[in-house]
C-alpha cells in the first residue's frame, strides 16, 4: 500500500474529511490488550479520553526532572 492509498476518492470528493481511527486502552495500560480493554475511537475522542492521564504523567515527569536537577521538595511531589 502506498502513501496515495485512497487519494482518488478524495480527489473525486474534495469536501470529504479524513478521520484518524485509533484504538485506546480503557485502563491506560498498554500491556493489557484484552478485547474488553480496547475501544476504537477517532483521534480527537482518544486524546480527550486520555487528557487527564496525560496531564498526570506530565506532572510526574516535571517533578522528577526538578529532583534530578537538585530541587529538594518540601512535600511529596508524587501525591500531587
What is the predicted pLDDT for the residue at 1? 46
According to DSSP, residue 39 is labeled E
Query: Would you call 55 helix, strand, or coil by DSSP?
Result: helix
Q: Nearest Cα to 42, choosing from 55, 24, 30?
A: 24
**pLDDT tens digit sequence for 6-42:** 778 778 887 878 889 999 999 999 999 999 999 999 9
Q: Structural domain tally of the chain?
A: 1
Task: Provide the whole-model pTM.
Answer: 0.62
Instruction: Output the nine-digit C-alpha cell for 43.
Output: 483521534
Q: How many CB atoms lie within 10 A of CB 24?
A: 17
Q: Which residue segment(s) compose the domain that 47 sits in?
A: 7-79
Q: Is residue 1 in some structural domain?
A: no
Once rounded to an integer, what is the mean pLDDT over residues 39-65?
Answer: 94
Q: Is residue 36 in some structural domain?
A: yes
Amino acid at each position: 500500500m502506498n502513501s496515495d492509498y485512497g487519494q482518488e476518492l478524495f480527489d473525486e470528493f474534495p469536501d470529504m474529511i479524513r478521520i484518524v481511527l485509533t484504538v485506546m486502552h480503557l485502563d491506560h495500560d498498554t500491556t493489557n490488550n484484552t478485547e474488553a480493554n480496547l475501544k476504537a475511537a477517532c483521534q480527537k475522542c482518544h486524546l480527550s479520553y486520555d487528557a487527564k492521564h496525560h496531564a498526570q504523567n506530565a506532572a510526574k515527569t516535571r517533578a522528577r526532572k526538578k529532583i534530578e536537577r537538585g530541587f529538594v521538595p518540601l512535600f511529596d511531589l508524587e501525591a500531587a
